[in-house]
């Protein structure tokens, strides 16, 4: 007879509570943060990996992913560039914590919108992030130029990075933030957590420009909380990576708040994209608009699962959801599932649209009849397909930049 043994799954060193605590102390972090790291490490140990039985993970099976096998790459290679207005801040979380004028704000907000306990990846991030960025916009102030947060993992560096952003915009504050992520071709895991607090009438634009290498797996939670008449746009470019899974949520709590979520994914080879969105309306006359588009070559895949939730209190809410997928090759696949959860009997307006299919053959012929090869025609059409969701993202040269990536990637993609 086999011997019965009790076994607790061992948490590998860098993710274990002791190691997490020691690392935090070595970095000289304040006691409260060390304590939160410790809690996160415990949550990490206690939280099982999500399984496809959970709807948001239905098409992205991570049960075989061993997070513990990805050791942190060391101090995360992040830089933050930005010139804050008087009283504002744009820099690393570590610098903000060392600054008496900002440490308290950070303490009050960090990890409160995306608690470490809510999932395996958020717990890992909270336990181990380094090089996170902090952006603070004081009341009535505006950043004149976009804040640029660059996470540039050197080619050859394998392991894990934990992208982290805390953005706090006070009433009427305005800021644009661009997060640029790049990596080489070594296996990399990137569980990210971005928290965005938008005060009354604040205007916030965040662009996540993801150009990971071929073996990077990203799992990110982006959540924003919108106060009265706040206006938040979160846009994501998924142009690289092996797996990119992003959960982008907007909590529309204040009356009149407006959320815009945009996403663009360009796939080839075995690339796998998975977008989950939540537009959670609780304030009156709140508005939200989601548009996510993917163009898929090779055997790439894109999954969209989006929920529009209109709560009891959200009279006069307006919500829109759009997900469009262009299959550029016979092997590409997409699954699209926009969901409405209406919990109010108040008058509201909700719309959703989802499409999966090949490019418009008539348009293709039209372009070919002007001399463009089918590949050139597709390059132009895909760039155009994306352009319609990129319009409205206030970043100079973005459309041209994305078009250039489309042209380059589709020059060799399997169509």
Residues in contact with other proteins by CB under 8 A are 360-363, 365-374, 376-377, 380-381, 383-388
Q: Which two tokens stand for residue 235?
A: 């846009």
Q: How far is the CB of 289 from other proteins (least distance, A)?
A: 17
Pairing of strands 216-226, 243-252: parallel
Q: How far is the CB of 90 from other proteins (least distance, A)?
A: 33
Q: How far is the CB of 328 from other proteins (least distance, A)?
A: 15
Closest CB to other proteins among 87 and 358?
358
Q: How far is the CB of 387 from other proteins (least distance, A)?
A: 4
- Of the CA atoms within 13 Å of residue 183, those in its CB half-sphere come to 29
**DSSP characters over 67-111:** GGGS-B-SS--EEEE--PPTT-EEEEHHHHHT-HHHHHHHHHHTT
User: Of 11, 93, 84, nearest to 46 (Cα)?
Assistant: 11
Q: How far is the CB of 403 from other proteins (least distance, A)?
A: 8
Taking each helix axis from N to C end, the angle separating 374-390 and 361-368, rounded to the nearest 10 degrees, works out to: 120
Q: How far is the CB of 371 from other proteins (least distance, A)?
A: 3
Q: What is the DSSP letter of 413?
A: S
Q: How far is the CB of 364 from other proteins (least distance, A)?
A: 9
Q: Which two tokens stand for residue 215?
A: 């073996």
User: Of 226, 206, 227, 214, nearest to 183 (Cα)?
Assistant: 214
Closest CB to other proteins among 69 and 357?
357
Closest CB to other proteins among 87 and 357?
357
Q: What angle do CA 244, 106, 173 make, to 5 degrees?
A: 85
**Would you give the distance in Å from CA 133 to the centre of its chain?**
14
Closest CB to other proteins among 166 and 381?
381
Q: How far is the CB of 389 from other proteins (least distance, A)?
A: 9
**DSSP characters over 140-202:** T-B-SS-EEEEEEPPTT--EE---EEEEEE-TT-EEEEEEEEE--SS-EEEEEEEEEEE-TT-
Q: How far is the CB of 102 from other proteins (least distance, A)?
A: 42
Closest CB to other proteins among 196 and 382?
382
Neighbours of 50 (CB within 10 A): 18
Closest CB to other proteins among 395 and 407?
407
Closest CB to other proteins among 243 and 326?
326
Closest CB to other proteins among 177 and 383?
383
CB 80 within 8 A of CB 149: yes
Q: What is the DSSP letter of 117?
A: G
Q: Which two tokens stand for residue 67?
A: 């997070």
Closest CB to other proteins among 26 and 370?
370
Phi/psi of residue 283, nearest 5 degrees = -80, 155
User: Of 292, 235, 293, 294, nearest to 259 (Cα)?
Assistant: 235
Closest CB to other proteins among 145 and 368?
368
Integer angstrom CA distances of residue 153 from 2, 79, 386: 47, 11, 27
Q: How far is the CB of 251 from other proteins (least distance, A)?
A: 31
């Amino acid at each position: 007879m086999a011997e019965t043994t009790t076994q607790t799954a061992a948490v590998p060193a860098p993710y274990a509570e002791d190691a997490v605590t020691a690392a935090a102390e070595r970095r000289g972090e304040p006691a409260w943060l060390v304590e939160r790291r410790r809690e996160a490490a415990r949550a990490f140990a206690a939280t099982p990996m999500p399984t496809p039985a959970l709807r948001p993970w239905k098409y992205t099976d991570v049960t075989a992913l061993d997070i513990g096998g990805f050791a942190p790459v060391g101090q995360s290679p992040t830089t933050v560039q930005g010139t804050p207005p008087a009283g504002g801040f744009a820099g690393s979380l570590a610098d903000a914590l060392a600054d008496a004028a900002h440490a308290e704000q950070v303490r009050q907000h960090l990890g409160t919108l995306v608690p470490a306990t809510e999932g395996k990846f958020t717990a890992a991030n909270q336990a181990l992030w380094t090089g996170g960025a902090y952006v603070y916009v004081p009341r009535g102030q505006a950043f004149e130029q976009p804040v640029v947060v660059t996470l540039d993992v050197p080619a050859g560096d394998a392991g894990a990075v934990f992208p982290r952003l805390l953005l706090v915009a006070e009433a009427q504050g305005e800021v644009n933030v661009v997060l640029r992520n790049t990596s080489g071709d070594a296996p990399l895991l990137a569980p990210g957590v971005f928290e965005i607090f938008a005060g009354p009438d604040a205007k916030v634009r965040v662009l996540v420009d993801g150009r990971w290498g071929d073996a990077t797996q990203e799992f990110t939670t982006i959540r924003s909380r919108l106060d009265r008449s706040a206006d938040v746009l979160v846009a994501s470019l998924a142009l690289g990576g092996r797996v990119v899974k992003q959960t982008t949520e907007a909590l529309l709590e204040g009356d009149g708040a407006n959320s815009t979520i945009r996403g663009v994914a360009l796939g080839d080879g075995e690339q796998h994209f998975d977008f989950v969105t939540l537009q959670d309306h609780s304030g009156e006359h709140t508005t939200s608009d989601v548009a996510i588009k993917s163009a898929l070559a090779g055997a790439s895949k894109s999954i969209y699962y989006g929920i529009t939730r209109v709560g009891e209190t959200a009279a006069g809410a307006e919500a829109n959801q759009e997900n469009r997928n262009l299959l550029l090759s016979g092997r590409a696949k997409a699954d699209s599932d926009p969901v409405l959860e209406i919990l109010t009997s108040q008058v509201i307006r909700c719309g959703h649209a989802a499409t999966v299919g090949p490019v418009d053959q008539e348009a293709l012929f039209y372009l070919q009849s002007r001399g463009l090869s089918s590949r050139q025609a597709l390059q132009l059409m895909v760039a155009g397909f994306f352009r319609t969701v990129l319009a409205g993202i206030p970043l100079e040269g973005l459309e041209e930049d994305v078009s250039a990536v489309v042209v380059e990637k589709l020059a060799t993609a399997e169509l």
